[in-house]
Amino acid sequence: MPSEKAIKTYLEDTLQIGAHLYGIELSVVGTVQKQGETLWLVSRKTGERLPLVPLTQKVQWDTKGKCAAPLLDSERSTYARLQTLVGKPVTVTGPLRAGQLEVRLLSPLSSPLSKGTP
């Protein structure tokens, strides 16, 4: 995956269409793993491991306030729920920052994952 900096440069400097990149938000399907104190999401599709961290700032933009949209209480508590889902299949959605996936939304999946399953 290209870095956030590379995508930002492409959008703002190469395309020159007046776009601004405020951040990148991903939804990744995988399995939660724990190694030491670190929680990881292992992608079902690629097997790549992404470290999971609490949400610090949303990508969504408040156009009136001209700043990042405020975090909801439910979003603040989402990371803590991961502890109960170690070894389980989930979809995690959140901003990708410095190679870490900040957890904004979490959806447990009901069936085990395999790489060939859509």
Q: What is the band of 118 on the pLDDT scale with cuts at 50, 70, 90?
A: very low
User: Is-contact 35 49, C-beta < 8 A?
Assistant: no
Mean pLDDT of 22-42: 94
Compute the distance between CA of residue 26 and CA of residue 94 in angstroms, rounded to an integer. 6
pLDDT band (50, 70, 90) for residue 42: very high
**Per residue in 71-106, pLDDT tens?**
999 999 999 999 999 999 999 999 999 889 999 999
Q: Mean pLDDT score of the chain, rounded to an integer?
A: 88
Contact 106, 82 (CB under 8 A): yes
The two structure tokens encoding residue 53? 């961290």
| pTM (predicted TM-score) | 0.81
Contact indicator for 44, 116 with CB cutoff of 8 Å: no
Is the pLDDT at 116 greater than 50, yes or no? no
Q: Say whether 30 sits in a helix, a strand or coil.
A: strand
Long-range CB pairs of 8-12 (<8 Å, 24+ gap) are: none
What domains can be seen in the chain, in order of their start residue?
Answer: 24-107 (2.40.50)
The distance from CA 44 to its chain's CA centroid, rounded to whole angstroms, is 14
